A and B are shown apart, each in its own frame.
Chain A
C-alpha cells in the first residue's frame, strides 16, 4: 500500500462534505456572513438615518421596506444580523474558553478540587440566570466605563457590547463545563493517559495534548448550539433594555419592533417577516452545521 491512510481530520472533513444538509448549512452561513459584511457598505442607505417615507412596503428603492422612522429595513437587518452574529459568536467563545478550562481542570484534578469546582457550578446554576446577568452588568458597568473613559475615550460606546459578550458567555459556560468534565472523567483512566503519565508527561502536557483534542468534537458541537441560544438570550436582554440600545439594532430588537407594530387593522408584515426569517435561517443553519460536525467528528460513524 503506497498511500498512507488519510489523517482523522481529513477523513472527518470528507464525511462532512458528504453530508448534504450540513454543507448547505455551512454555505448559507458563509453567504449570510458575506452579506452582513459587504451589504451595509454597498447599501445607499444609512441604517440609522430616517427618511420621509415611514412604513413603506418593500419596493424597488427599499427592498425590505422601511420602519416607523422610514429607515431602510434591509440595511438595518444586515447590520443587526452582524451584531447578533458577533454577540452569538463571542458569547459562545467566552463560554467555550471558561467552560472547557473549568471542566478539564476539575475532572483531571479529581477528588476535592473537582468537588469544589463542581459545587461552584451548581451554585451559579441555582442562581436565576437573568439575575446573574443583571448583577454582572450592574457590578462591572460603572467601573469598566470609568476605566475606559480614562484610558480610551473613543471606545466607550462599544463597552456595552463588550459587557454583553462577557455576560452572555458568563451564563452559558456552566453546561459546557459539565459536559467537558463528563467527557474527561471517562477518558482520564484510559490506558493511553496512563502510558503518557508513566513516560513522565507533565499534567499540562496531558491536558493540552491528550485530553483537549479528545473533547474537541463535543465542544464544537455544543458551541454551535450555544451560538443560537446566546443570540436569543441577547434579544431577551434587549427586550428588557439591558442589551443593544437604539438606534442600533440586533436581529432580536428588530423582531421585537416588528412585533410591536402588529395590530389587527394594518398588517405591516415586512417588519416582522424579514428579520424573523433571517433569524430562523441562521438558527436552522447553525443547527444543521452542529449536527453535521457531530457526525463528521465521531470516528464511530465511519462506514
Chain B
C-alpha cells in the first residue's frame, strides 16, 4: 500500500524532469514560424503562453494547473487544450491497446502452452516459427503487409481509418502480434520449467489426469513471467503506437508522442508523459498484486 501512495510522487518527479529537460533542449515551439512572423508576433506569442517568464514561474504555473487537473494549452494545435486533445485521442488508444492486449494473450498463451506441452514436436515448431515472425519483422513491415494482403488483395477489411468494428481488426492484429510472440515465448519457457519441477512428478505419480495436471497445477506458476511482462506491455499498448497510427491513419495518442517532441509542444509532451508514467506505475502495481495472488511464496515472504 505504501507503494500506491508513492505513485503520485514518482509521477510528479517524472513530470518535473520532463518539464525541465524539454525546456533545456535546444529549439523552441515557434521556431518554424520565425521566418514569416515578425519580432512582435513572436514576442506576442511568447507572452501569450507565458514563455517570456522566468523558468521557475512557468514551473509554478504548470504545477498550479496540474493541481486543478489542467494541463494547459497546446502550442501546436492552437485552438485546443492538452486536456481536449487527450480526451479525444486517449479513448481511441485505450480501446486499440486493450483489444491488442486481448489478441496478444489470446494468441500468445495457446501457442506458448502447446509449445511447452508438445516440446520438440510439430506444434512447437509451428509456434516457434510464428513467434520468430512476430519478433523479427518490425511493426512498420507487418502493418503494410497486412494492409496489402487482407486489405487490398483479399479486400476483407478496410485498409485504414477508425470507427467501425471492421476497421479495428487489422491494426489490432498488427499491434498485438509482437506482444503475442513475446508472451508465447515467456509462457513456453515458464511452463517447460514448471513441468520439470518435482511437484509435477508427484501429481503424476498420484495418478492425476494430464488435463487437470496442466491446467490446475502447472499453468498457474508458469504464468508469473507473463504477468510481470503484462504491466509495461499494457502501458505501451494503451498509449498508442506511432507506427500503427501512421499506417492506419488512426487518431490516437501515439503520433502525438513523436510530433509534440519535434514541434516542442511542451504542455502536450508533458501531459503525455504524465499519462504514460501514471499508467505504467499503476499497472506495475496491479502486476505485483496479481503476482501475490498467483504465487503463495511471494504472499508469505
Contacts and interface: CB of A to CB of B under 8 A. Distances in A.
A and B together in one complex: yes
Contact of B261 (A119, A123, A134): A134
A131 B269 contact: yes
B10 A123 contact: yes
A122 B25 contact: no
Contacts of B152: 264
Contacts of B153: 264
Interface residues of A, number: 35
Given A127-B273, A259-B141, A264-B152, A135 B21 contact: yes
Contacts of B148: 262-264
Interface in B119-170: 132-133, 135-138, 140-141, 144-145, 148, 152-153
A239 B243 contact: yes
Nearest to B264: A138
B280 interface: yes
A123 B141 contact: no
B141 A128 contact: no
Given A135-B25, A283-B136, A284-B132, A128 B243 contact: no
B261 A126 contact: no
Given A127-B18, A128-B276, A122 B10 contact: yes
B24 A131 contact: no
A130 B140 contact: no
Interface in A143-188: none
B11 A126 contact: yes
A276 B17 CA distance: 38
A125 B10 CA distance: 11
B82 interface: no
A272 interface: yes
Interface string B251-275: 0000001100100000001001100
Contacts of B257: 128, 130-131
B225 to A, nearest CB: 13
A259 B27 CA distance: 33
A139 B24 contact: yes
B86 interface: no
Interface string A230-245: 0010011001100000
Contacts of A125: 280
A256 interface: yes
Interface string A64-107: 00000000000000000000000000000000000000000000
B14 interface: yes
How many chain B residues sit at the interface, stated as a range, is 35 or more
A23 B276 CA distance: 42
B25 to A, nearest CB: 5
Interface string B37-67: 0000000000000000000000000000000
Contact of B27 (A122, A138, A236, A239): A138
A128 B273 contact: yes
A236 B139 CA distance: 9
A195 B168 CA distance: 62
A128 B145 contact: no
Given A126-B14, A128-B273, A128-B276, A236 B261 contact: no
A139 B25 CA distance: 5
Interface in A250-287: 252, 255-256, 258-260, 262-264, 272, 276, 279-280, 283-284
A200 interface: no
B237 to A, nearest CB: 13
A141 to B, nearest CB: 8
Interface in B78-118: none
B10 A236 contact: no
Contacts of B144: 259-260, 262
A232 B14 CA distance: 26
A142 interface: yes
B120 to A, nearest CB: 11
Q: Which of B11, B14, B24 has the most CB of A within 10 A?
A: B14
Q: Which of A122, A235, A240, A283 has the most CB of B within 10 A?
A: A122
B281 interface: yes
Nearest to A138: B25
A127 B17 contact: yes
B116 to A, nearest CB: 14
Contacts of A142: 26
24 contacts: A125-B280, A126-B10, A126-B14, A126-B281, A127-B273, A130-B242, A131-B18, A131-B257, A131-B261, A131-B269, A131-B273, A142-B26, A235-B138, A239-B138, A240-B258, A255-B137, A259-B140, A264-B148, A276-B136, A276-B141, A280-B132, A280-B136, A280-B137, A284-B136
A-B complex: 4 closest residue pairs judged by Cβ atoms: A126-B277, A280-B136, A259-B141, A264-B152
Interface of A: 119, 122-123, 125-128, 130-131, 134-135, 138-139, 142, 228, 232, 235-236, 239-240, 252, 255-256, 258-260, 262-264, 272, 276, 279-280, 283-284
Given A134-B258, A236-B138, A240-B258, 8 more contacts: A127-B273, A128-B239, A128-B276, A239-B140, A256-B141, A262-B144, A262-B145, A272-B141
Interface of B: 10-11, 13-14, 17-18, 21-22, 24-27, 132-133, 135-138, 140-141, 144-145, 148, 152-153, 239, 242-243, 257-258, 261, 269, 272-273, 276-277, 280-281
